[in-house]
Structure 1
Amino acid sequence: MSIFNEPKIDCHNHIFDPVRFPYRPDTHYRPSGQECGSARLFMQVLDAYGVRHALVVGPNSGYDTDNRCLLDAIAQSGGRFKGIAVVENYCSLETVSALQTQGIVGVAFNPAFLGVAYYTGTALLLKMLSQLGMLLQVQVEKDQLPNLMPLLDGSDVRLLIDHCGRPEPRDGLSNRAFQALLALGRSGRAWVKLSGLSKFSHEAHPHADTWPFIEALVQAFTLDRCVWGSDWPYLRAPERVEYGPQLKLIERLFPNAVDRNKLLWETPRQLLGWASDT
């Protein structure tokens, strides 16, 4: 069976719809042109490639803590989407709980964009997420993870690490930050997204310099805690990215259909709470 016919969940993507939901005036970056993509268009993309569900990630660019576009996408998906929101560091339990009732399953921290120090003092937020059974999604890059670990170690919140931890391929697998990520995987309290290869690769597609890192992550996390994401619609991509070739790369890296079913369907379905027959 082709990967296009197998059940799949896309666990990292964004909706940018500035016509219906104008960007915040103080936004760091204003996606435009081919970087934009409405919920309606994204559902058409998913239909074309046989993807049943999506975890839509609220972006710091464009919207930041304005989650209206994200919530609208979830509402119009008919249960097909769930979301990761961006919230204020000191928001209330009521705020987070209200988001959860609207299909939000976690909150995003983005040190790769805002720096590690930005999240100082968020222990109470992590406690709230843990109370509600929600996820903390973390995007770090290069050597940031060890500096964030004191905050993460002080909480029992479930962790979802973006984009393979965005390691520096030239530093190799022995890099301290990547080893910290592998240790986190072996601890059993975190999941990792095998996604965003173009964000840290120094090579064009198929980004062969990232493959040893993917192999190491699968060994440490196991496929019970690995998920896949497309990163559609490819904000600030260094080269043209297409949905189909990304799926074919996963088929190449995971030639066993049972492994692909675990990565693309069973693990994300169980993590995010979709029924087996949807």
Structure 2
Amino acid sequence: VLVQTSWSTWDNGYIADSQARFPDRSIGHGMLDPQNPDNADQAHYWMEERGLLGFRFHPMYYPDEKVLTTPQNRPLWEVLAAMDAVIQFHLNAACADQIAEIARRHPQMPLLLDHMGYPNLDESPEAFQPIVQLADFDNVAVKISDVHGRSKQAFPYADVHPFIQRLHRAFGAERMLWGTGYPGHHRTKHNWPTLAEELRLVQEGFDFLNPREKDQMLGGTAARIWGLT
């Protein structure tokens, strides 16, 4: 699944072209500007004419506004639901109420929480609870990704494991997905884990998951969400 990055533009053409060129190997997700009054039309264009299967939103970048649930954006969510879009959210706990409102209004639309909802080791466990409570909605799943970025320790980043275990208890492996984050160039530039190391983290570092749950996280959940089975 190729996802337009948050530091890119609103032009999803590269992702759409990549998916069109390699349709058997890639699924494309773009971005939409939640403050653009024409975003419902943009959603229709990128899905209907360019073949994208969903979008990523970044509510945590709008701390002074509940940007996803403004009256202006109601037509956007109606279009996305009607087109069977899969939606991803780059968020923290302060944004959880917006996702809850969308999940409640559109219970058939798959909603994915990126990077575990950004758990913060410097905050109390209670501060993360709004993310955990999103498990109450059957259409919400969580990505176990960028674990390294949340940690203050070396592999396997055990200080983040309590957050992952809370998510596991709440969502179950059936609603957990493996993810990676930035692609190769940025990993090399910033000395982040390689994709092979990200994979090894689940396979060898999460001893609280059994083999079936690891397989589910590494592919089963994604196959169900994007209809790959």
Using the size of structure 2 for normalisation, the TM-score is 0.82
Deviation at 1:60?
Answer: 2.7
- Paired residue secondary structure (2:126): coil
RMSD over aligned CA atoms reads 2.5
Q: Structure 1 pair 86/202, CA: closer, same or farther in 2 (3 Å)?
A: same
Matched with 1:60 is 6
Structure holding more helix per residue: 2
Q: Structure 1 pair 68/185, CA: closer, same or farther in 2 (3 Å)?
A: same
Q: Structure 1 pair 115/214, CA: closer, same or farther in 2 (3 Å)?
A: same
Alignment-mate amino acid for residue 205 of structure 1:
F
Matched with 1:74 is 19
Alignment partner of 1:88 is 2:33:
yes
- The equivalences for 1:136-215 within 5 A come to 136-141=87-92, 143-146=93-96, 148-149=98-99, 151-152=101-102, 155-156=105-106, 157-175=109-127, 178-215=128-165
Matched with 2:225 is 271
Unaligned 5+ segments in structure 2 are none
Question: Can you list the C-alpha shifts for 1:190-233, whole angstroms capped at 9, x where unaligned?
Answer: 01101011332233432211111111111111111111111142
Matched with 2:80 is 129
- Greater RCO (Cα-Cα under 8 Å, separation 6 or more): 1
CA distance in 2, matches of 1:245, 1:150: 33
Q: For this pair of structures, how many residues does the alignment match?
A: 217
Using the size of structure 1 for normalisation, the TM-score is 0.69
- Paired residue secondary structure (1:72): helix
Q: Is the contact made by 2:29 and 2:53 (CA closer than 8 Å) also made in structure 1?
A: yes
Alignment partner of 1:224 is 2:174:
yes
- Paired residue secondary structure (1:220): helix
Q: Structure 1 pair 78/180, CA: closer, same or farther in 2 (3 Å)?
A: same
CA distance in 2, matches of 1:187, 1:248: 30
Alignment-mate amino acid for residue 134 of structure 1:
A
Partner of residue 54 from structure 2, selected from 99, 106, 114: 106
Query: What is the percent sequence identity of the aligned residues?
Result: 23
Unaligned 5+ segments in structure 1 are 1-54
Deviation at 1:153?
Answer: 5.5
Deviation at 1:251?
Answer: 0.8
Q: Say which is worse superposed, 79-88 or 198-207, in terms of deviation.
A: 198-207
- Paired residue secondary structure (1:60): coil
Alignment-mate amino acid for residue 59 of structure 1:
T
Q: Structure 1 pair 127/258, CA: closer, same or farther in 2 (3 Å)?
A: same
